[in-house]
Chains A and B, each alone.
Chain A
Amino acid sequence: MTETARTAPLVEMRGVSKTFPGVRALDDVSFAVDAGEVHMLLGQNGAGKSTLIKVLYGAHHPDSGEFLFSGRPVRIHSTADARRLGIAVIFQEFSLVPYLDIAQNVFLGREPHGRIPGIVDATRMHAEARRALDLLGLDLDTHTPVHELGVAQQQMVEIAKALSQNARILVMDEPTAALSEHEIGRLFELIRALKRDGIAIIYISHRLREVFEIGDRITVLRDGRKVASRRPSDTSMDELVTLMVGREVDTTYRHGFCAQPGEVVLDVEDLRGRSGVRAAHLDVRAGEIVGLAGLVGAGRTELARAIFGADGLVQGRVRLGGRPLAGGPSASVGAGVGLVPENRKDEGLALIRSVQDNLLVAGLPRLFPSRWYRFGIASRAVAELISRLRVVTPSPAQPAKFLSGGNQQKVVIGKWLNAGSRFFIFDEPTRGIDVGSKAEIYRLIEQLVTGGAGVLLVTSELPELVAVCDRAYVMRDKAIVGELRRADLTEENILRLAMHHAGEHAVPEAGTARGVSR
């Protein structure tokens, strides 16, 4: 990154401002990225990162500000303009079409055609798609419809889609959110290769670790303003966090580990789920946070859902406080199990309904034993939850879709508090959530266990898992392959258990296609 960094920036945005009705999303932000540079873009959700990207990509039109492309001023009116300038974006929300195959998705809107314009040259398209996949070392058939792919595979296709545009500027918005260590490693190699070819990369991530691993420059946004620009060499995680949040944040996610666990809350015996997951034995005691680790596709989510009763069992016994669980989610919820699902928007919330409705939906029968909905009781309960969870919302009537990721996640958790759950399953609770909220989420989880509940925590964020859990089970090939006590709970040990011939297992089987969002 030395000699390229001194030439004029490849693309530069000067004094960009953008106002949406009621909110100043970007306020006089200047931002530049050099060829062969990885420029990290940090900030909490709502800080303006995505807006900045959309402006750069021509999806939004700025109220003011100018673009310079290798020194020359340019206008970007449409995504088409942006593409012409060689800008490609890997979006955080999947931009894939479920019932088109990989090649068609990779070339969506740029389909190669022969003599007649409208007609797609399939052979060429698949050949080029093949090349894009090979770059990422993905051995997937380009004819596979993406709805048959797992989340991680979809993310990789998303990346291939951007790469295939031979962009000069590549924007990556949370590209690793759904990836396993193994795939992340491969992605980073690729990024380094791209740098060598003089590609400029704008990289958005909540994983500070990555900032230091591949970042050359760091820009922090807060409330639509640029608050700082740093080099990795002369900053620290704590400083960055403070810059992002605007105040000191306690990033120790667990304060006191569970000295002596209480009686068994949940125990699972030789379970086999419809999805094929197996668990010889698993138990969680009162006051414990038990981790469930493994590579993406190892079957963690499937196991969590099986325990919750979401998918039904082929065999096995799940008991809560000694009493067997059977009869699907409604029975489990009644018995006091709560599931914070992996995919918040599709499985956790009714986005068009209000915060109040979402907070109460799981606990309705408990809150209103008479089955009569009493608005007085309801609003009291909701007010109490909102303040206890510190949900930032203008009012309980706010539709959930207008909340930030962190606050949405709090609402999902609040749902279970209101349902009076004694055992909680958290599936990737901090995915796509900024550091500030992360700390709060874990504070809540700790509150739960100190309050005598049991928690099963599924997460790909190994550092978090290690930092938080009292124990952890490790999965591979849809089965639990080991248990790690607090003493030997390290990333290395987890990976050793999980990746045992990682080669084959890093890429999950098809079937868990919950990634494609409509």
Chain B
Amino acid sequence: MGHGRFGRLAFLTVTAGVLVSCAQARDGADGEQIALFTKNQTNPYFQSIRLGADDAARQMGVEIVHYVPTRPDSIPDQMSQIEDAIIKRPDAVVFIPVDFQAMVPGVGQMNAAGIPVVNLTDRAAGGDFVSWVGCDDRTLGLNAGRYLLERMNGRGNVIILEGVGGSANSKARVGGFLQAIEEAPGVTLVASQPGNFQRLQALQVTENLLQAYPEIDGVMAANDSMALGAIEALDAANRQALVVGINGTKEAVDAIKAGKLVASTDCNGFVQGCIGAMVAIRHIRDLPVPAEFQFPQPVIDSTNYGDLDLPDEQRSCPSWESVAGSLATSPAGGG
């Protein structure tokens, strides 16, 4: 009787497995297949990238498989997923490393397996890539910082909200902020504190800093979530300060529209996703691809948020030619 029970359980597990397989068999068409590695399921920015890549793949008739660590930004998770993806032998991989240095061996494994890899967003410290598509985090920070200080007329106190300790983006973006501040002698940095890219922590850190410093004129946040958290804190305390964020998420754009956020700098995750996927697919099809796609880092403010003012679902990838053309003319690392 007890064993009957185990039997049933085993059966259940198997059927569960079958259902699972059906769930994923939907996009199981034969033919070319690419795999996209993103950092986590929680940050809207990577969702934009995934949607862009999906759209590109759909347009070009290729199956795309997503690998996202079960623990946000977990190095061991992504490492395992690389090994498992190699088993599935996708025709090409679009790869965003959760850590630009620690994932190098993972890239090496894909190289060894002879799978072409396109490096997206964060520039990996090593490994062979078909091409790199992304933009420079430091420039993002620099541009956002410069814009803010400009709006502050180069005078006043600013605070910085850092991202996750150990994340390269945070480090680079904060580096950009600091450079901008150095350029502006009239501005003093009163505090640089961790918000871990998290809205709640940014909110509470800002609340606390508002207590410590009676005069805060500017806030530089290493991503939009933290910027919006800071704005909540300012509102609740009835304090005025100019806030800039990074990423140009839909929510940030709405905040810019509402005049709460002065600006966000953007690498346009959606288009990055598109281009990343396109490069990979073109490579499979032996079409020429440039070795580098340096996206511009435009500052988005109340004057130019237009083209971002669409939910990603309603956007669709620009044609390869248009983007290629525009990027060819755009100055690398431009401002």
A–B contact via C-beta, under 8 angstroms: no
**Residues on A facing B (Cβ under 8 Å):** none
